Every structure is written in structure tokens, then in C-alpha cells.
Amino acid sequence: MSTTIFDKQDIDIAWCPGCGNFKILDMLKAALSELGISPQNLVVVSGIGQAPKTPHYFNTNMFNGLHGRALPAATAIKAVNPGLTVIAEGGDGDMYGEGGNHFLHTIRRNPDITHIVHNNMVYGLTKGQASPTSPLGFKTPVQVDGVVSEPVNPMAVAIAQNASFVARAFSGDVEKTKEIVKKAIQHKGYALVDILQPCVTFNKINTFKWFKDNSYYLDESYNPRDRVKAFEKAIDPAGLALGILYINEKPSFEENLSVYATNREPVYRRKRSIETLRQVISSKM
């Protein structure tokens, strides 16, 4: 399947020249094409920010909601139509800041969705404030003396919460990132892919070179099903581990829903009975 099926014509992309988002957009279209996923069977859900503009720039079904609220919408979409491929997309501020509470509870529910986070360690849309992943000492027009709050470690949080799939990638390495994202999409259950993505305008510290110099790939002998080792890699002071850190297969949110216990027909296709609804409401009064 060609990536051209995901292309939109005459699109004015609002990202800065050199932004890491461009590579993620190209990577995502390539990954979806190679997996044979059609635009009609895909929904990309996003919130607010530069990264959540991603679904605006390619041809697919999309839902663009409130800041930090992509995950509950993605969970609901997958629940009523399990046959869809659902991706929740956003930045580190959108997903770990405003959406931090939803991040935790989506891990608990384990819906069969792919969660892609563009992590540039800064708020790019609102002109360079510190984000939840900004490092200690990072100076901004707001944090003029440098960040004093401990940054969120999304890998450690996800593994501590026993997420079913946890990975980290780097937008500067498109091919390896593509393969990681493909595995995340194919994984049955919640799959987090935190993509290190430089902001060339508002973050002059965590650049393409910085990410490359301060990250490393897990070797082939690494076992992603060892939770203790995965947590060690998540907090490794030697650098940012790239690859699939943790896998923990378990039933998905949709599989646990009682509405699918004896009937596999998607909820959105089922006929609604007003009389049955009245009876249910009356029984609870």
C-alpha cells in the first residue's frame, strides 16, 4: 500500500522548518501503509498543541478534542467499534501535563489503542514554557531561573503501572522508529511510544544532536518481559534507552466489557430499544 493514500493536497503545515514533527508524520504514514491499514479503518485522536496537529495533515478519520483529553475519546471510539485501528497522538505537555490523569487510567484500563507522544521537553505551541518532561535547570521565558521541579519519566510511570507495551523512539531515526510504531500498532492492548522529538525553535538544549548523543538502543539480548530490567532501563542514568522496554500481554479493555461477552457485534451497529432503556431506568428508580 502506497503512502500516497494518506496524503492531503494543498495543506499548509504550521510547523517550523526543521521540526521533528515532520519526520514523525512521514514515519506514521509509512508505518500505516506497510501494515496495510486503510484511512477508512483508522481513527487518529488528538488534543491541543503542535503535535496534535498531526492528524490534520494526512488523510484519515480524526477526532480533535480538548487539551489533554485524547485518551478517553480514543478509548471510547475503540470500545464502540473494536474493528478500528485507533491512535492517540499528542505532545509531552498535552499527554503528560493536562492529560496526565488520563494517562494513568488509560494504562489501567488497557484499551487496544496506540499512544504516540511527541516528546520535545517543552511547550511548543504556547511559545516555550517548561513542560512536564523539561529537565531540571532548563531556562525558559517563564522559568527564568531554570526548572526546579523533577521531570516526569513516562517510561518509569508506565512500567510501574504495569502497562502492556512501553517503548521509546527517536524521530531522527525514521526507520527504527517506524518499526517500533508498527509493533505498537500490532500489539493487542495499550501501547505507549514516547518519541524524542526536537523543537528547533523553543528548545536549544535538547536538539537532534543532544538526543542522539544521550540515547542508545537496547541490544538484541534484552528481554522486554522482565519488568525489573525494564524499570532499570527506564531510570538509567547513563542515557535514554530506545526500543521496546516492556511488554506485558493481558486482556484488553474491550475484551473485558460485558457488552461483548456473548455478542461480538460492535456497539455502534446494534439497534437501540427505547422500551428496554425505559425498563432499565425504571428498575433503578
The pLDDT, as a whole number, for residue 9 is: 80
- E runs forming strands in the chain: 42-46, 61-64, 85-91, 114-119, 165-170, 191-196, 215-217, 240-247
The pLDDT, as a whole number, for residue 125 is: 85
Using a 10 angstrom Cβ sphere, with 0-12 exposed, 13-18 middle and 19 or more buried, the burial of residue 274 is exposed
Tens digits of per-residue pLDDT, 209-264?
999 999 999 999 999 999 999 999 999 999 999 999 999 999 999 999 999 999 98
Tens digits of per-residue pLDDT, 116-129?
999 999 998 888 89
Nearest to 91 by CA among 123, 134, 59, 57: 123
The pLDDT, as a whole number, for residue 2 is: 67
CATH architecture under which domain 3-252 falls:
3-Layer(aba) Sandwich (3.40)
Cell, residue 85: 485501528
Residue 243 near residue 167 (C-beta atoms within 8 A): yes
Strand partners of residue 169: 195
d(Cα 71, Cα 46) in Å, to the nearest integer? 8
In the chain, which residues have pLDDT < 70?
1-2
The pLDDT, as a whole number, for residue 15 is: 94
The pLDDT, as a whole number, for residue 250 is: 97
**Where along the chain do its domains lie?**
3-252
Distance of CA 258 to the CA centre of its chain: 27
The pLDDT, as a whole number, for residue 280 is: 87
Cell, residue 281: 431506568
Q: Are strands 42-46 and 85-91 parallel, antiparallel or unpaired?
A: parallel
